[in-house]
Chains A and B, each alone.
Chain A
């Protein structure tokens, strides 16, 4: 057992209102620079929809992630031999048109235009070429456009839905959508890292954050191809790839990442988890049907004495273990089994988990008549407006049963709360729903509290980063005594 710590995240999609505040917070802090304008380390997509970059889930085009080969795995569109074969031209690299051409407006024209018969306008100017341009796409161009022929219908997740089911979704009365916020998953088996010819990408041992060393990156761009979530971005101006850094400077000082801190719907939870690194390769190479279970199984119980002992052997600080025990992510993912990884079939073992949306609760439309009085309005998952198969394609590699399990549990909690506050369902019905999903009343209460009432400290359980002890472990502290603290390259001395 090789116990390591991973800072991981849960997004509760039922609570996401699609306001993009997270994206703006991230953009203002990290990507408001030349060459990074088009990057959205955090973006929010409308589902069904094509997302950003356009149709990124279509791996037949983008060739991201890992594929199973025998008892092992290999990168779909990158890898050791392919890196050299494609080093002069990478056929699997998306271009900026797959994202969008970034632009600004000539605001100064509003003030400087000469007097005339017409109002001056601020024309859009390309941030690539500096020339006037016609805006054809943007970072959230399909926002709220569910049912639209250009976007929703091209969603790759429809592949397992019958034609009739698809058509039903596109009728105005039955239109349905939810929001999917995405950041880097800081995977346990990152494809971007494996694809980097320079070895510039690395996973931090102490907390599992995946970073790109800007000094080592040589612009071979294989990470952009390899990441199935398209969360590494190439900066066309600096010639370096960049990605979400999970705001590690904030984490190290005990603050939540900017996107999570600013989240209006309070959908985001962050905490430490312990996992067994010895199992990564074996689990990532498993059959597709087992991937979801295994990506939960790799996470260890932080209260297990054996796990604690092994964690200490690896130098994981007691406070990290303690914070892992209090992690809200562990509760959502392991204890309650409510949070699922996005596209586990990409085999990267993502460490960002989603509680699937129970909303919108369904109101059936029979022969064009919208009807919201059925008995099953609040209870019937099978009649959900969003086909179970669609959610399964996102979160369980196509397994409808696992999605149903999660939704039923969420529904049981909802019934439990309705009984508490309204009291019209009858204790028996609630007991039945809870029993069916294996949920105790205490657990239902805990799920409700963490979902609806959790305050800042409960949502973000960030352990101290102990950098001071890390230095002691690498050097003897006496070597640092009496130095200026600027490192060995810039010794502090008397000026010239």
Chain B
């Protein structure tokens, strides 16, 4: 029952919160969608925290996504030991990068008096949850080898069950506690994401790549007028 609440009910609640609150916030409180950068107050320490953190966590997330989408291919890749080793070392490197990054970012938040002024309680929560998530992920990767293989064969069916509305708690019930912590915190992040500064993740400005450099906004329909006069 406890497993069912934590790993079936809670994920759905988390995803629902994520979708509904993000949309609500985007529609009615759009000015709150910002990365709340603090680089303007402190730049040097931010570099050593932010850069490894972001590249590390993005690579790790991408790895999890690939495992989720193509579990068979991952298992096939891992069937040759040297390839498995390459994958595991790469994943662990990025995981450690993210861990170092988040630790440095937390240290920066605590030690710099200017940064403390722009740190809210929610920011503390975000940092704590992220630290737990990354630390548990790295611990799982080191303690329960080989993660990329058993993730694809044992955890992916659970996740796929969730996403196809056919949840099966059996896949997760027998997992070690550390893995359970990692999975639960993942959905916790999904749940709190729309309430925190993490929403900047949803508004990555990709459209910048194809928009024209200059933007002019008219307070009247200029095209209509040009058409009429030509």
Contact = CB atoms under 8 A, between A and B. Distances in A.
B41 A221 contact: no
Given A221-B39, A313-B226, A202 B205 contact: no
Given A204-B219, A219-B34, A90 B39 contact: yes
Contact of B213 (A129, A194, A218): A194
Interface centre among A80, A89, A205, A217 (most CB of B within 10 A): A89
Interface stretch (B50-58, B153-161, B172-180, B185-193): B50-58
B214 interface: yes
Nearest to B205: A197
Interface stretch (A105-113, A159-167, A465-473): A465-473
Contacts of A94: 40
B42 interface: yes
A218 B38 CA distance: 12
A481 interface: no
A199 B215 contact: yes
B225 A88 contact: no
A174 interface: no
A489 to B, nearest CB: 9
A236 interface: yes
A205 B222 contact: yes
Interface stretch (B91-99, B113-121, B134-142): B113-121
A312 B229 contact: yes
A239 interface: yes
B205 A206 contact: no
A314 B216 CA distance: 13
Interface string A93-123: 1111000000000000000000000000000
A189 B221 CA distance: 22
B33 interface: yes
A90 to B, nearest CB: 6
B217 A236 contact: no
A96 B208 CA distance: 27
B225 A219 contact: no
B226 A314 contact: yes
Contacts of A196: 208
A218 B217 CA distance: 19
Given A129-B114, A221-B39, A313-B229, A203 B222 contact: no
B124 to A, nearest CB: 17
Interface string A197-220: 111011111100000001111111
B79 to A, nearest CB: 36
A88 to B, nearest CB: 4
A48 interface: no
Contact of B217 (A88, A204, A224): A204
B83 interface: no
B26 to A, nearest CB: 10
Interface residues of B, number: 47
A411 to B, nearest CB: 39
B230 interface: yes
A130 B117 contact: yes
Given A205-B217, A218-B200, A221-B37, A93 B205 contact: no
Given A88-B55, A89-B51, A473-B224, A206 B208 contact: no
A229 interface: no
B38 A236 contact: yes
Contacts of A236: 38, 40-41, 118
B211 interface: yes
B37 A219 contact: yes
Contacts of B50: 88-89
Given A83-B208, A129-B113, A199-B211, A313 B225 contact: yes
Nearest to B218: A205
A203 B217 contact: yes
B47 interface: yes
A469 B219 CA distance: 9
B214 A194 contact: yes
Interface string B7-47: 00000000000000000000000110111111111110011
A315 interface: yes
B205 A89 contact: no
B113 A240 contact: no
Nearest to B101: A88
Given A239-B34, A313-B226, A203 B215 contact: yes
Nearest to A4: B216
A218 B114 contact: no
Contact of A193 (B36, B38, B205, B214): B214
Contacts of A206: 218-220
B207 A220 contact: no
A234 interface: yes
Residue of B118, B219, B225 most packed against chain A (CB within 10 A): B219
Given A130-B117, A219-B36, A313-B230, A95 B43 contact: yes
Contacts of A89: 39, 43, 46-47, 50-51
A217 B46 CA distance: 21
Given A219-B34, A313-B226, A474 B221 contact: yes
Contacts of A220: 35, 37, 205
Interface in A445-496: 467, 469-470, 473-474
Contacts of B53: 88
Contacts of A193: 213-215
B118 A469 contact: no
A202 B40 contact: no
A218 B46 contact: no
Most buried by B among A90, A205, A215, A219: A219
Nearest to B215: A202
Q: Which 6 A-B pairs have the closest CB atoms?
A: A205-B218, A197-B205, A473-B220, A315-B225, A194-B213, A239-B36
17 contacts: A83-B208, A88-B55, A89-B51, A90-B39, A129-B113, A129-B116, A193-B215, A196-B208, A197-B205, A199-B208, A203-B215, A203-B216, A217-B31, A218-B205, A221-B40, A234-B40, A313-B225
Given A94-B40, A196-B208, 9 more contacts: A88-B54, A96-B41, A96-B114, A129-B116, A190-B214, A205-B217, A205-B218, A234-B40, A314-B222
